[in-house]
Amino acid sequence: MIELRSLTSKDLPRVRWIESHAYQDPWPLESFDDLIRYHHFFHVGVTEDKVLMGYVFYQMAAQEMQILNIAVDPNHHSKGFGSLLLEYAHNEGKKNNVIESFLEVRVGNQNAQKLYRKFGYKKVGRRIHYYQDNGEDAWVMRCKLP
C-alpha cells in the first residue's frame, strides 16, 4: 500500500540512506533534522508497505514555494513516487495561496528535469558552479501553479 505522511526524526536514517544513494553530494543528516524540527519548513514522505521510498522538503513564503530537496530511493525510480511527492507539495501550496514554485536541478540530471517539465517547470536561470562536489551548474526552474 502506498501512503503519504509527514516525516519524523525516526525517518532520518532512511532519509539519509536515500539521500546518499540518490545524490553525488548528499545533504548532511543535521540539515534534515533541522528541516523536520522547524515549523516553517514542510515535508512529506511516500511509503510503500510502510517503507519510506522518497521525500520532499519545501518552504512557502508569501505566494511562492521553494522545493528544497526531493529524492526517491534509486532502486524504486519510475514507480511514480516523485510525481506523488511533487503533486502533494503543489496541492499544499495551492491551499496556501502559492502561485509559483521554484527549484534548482543539476544541469546534467535529465531524469529530474523530465519530471519537472511534466509538472510545468521551465528554466528561468542558471546558477554557475552551484554544486560543491564537482562545480556543476544548476538550472533554476519555475512553475506557475494552476
Tell me the C-alpha to C-alpha distance, in Å, between residue 146 and each of 20, 41, 46, 83, 100. 33, 22, 23, 16, 9
The partner residues of 73 in beta bridges, in order of sequence, read none
Please state, for a pLDDT cut of 70, what percent of the chain lies above it: 100
User: pLDDT tens digits for 125-144?
Assistant: 999 999 988 899 999 999 99
How much of the chain exceeds pLDDT 90, in percent? 93
pLDDT at 24 over 90: no
Contact 44, 83 (CB under 8 A): no
**pLDDT beyond 90 at 31:** yes
Instruction: Answer for the pair 16, 29: CB distance below 8 angstroms, yes or no.
Output: yes
Q: For the chain, how far is it from start to end, CA to CA, in angstroms?
A: 29
* Strand-pair category, 138-144 with 122-127: antiparallel
Kindly state the average pLDDT of the residues 79-87. 97
CA 52, distance to chain mean position in Å, is 14
pTM above threshold 0.75: yes
Average pLDDT value over all residues in the chain: 96
Cα angle at 9 between 27 and 80, to 5 degrees? Answer: 65
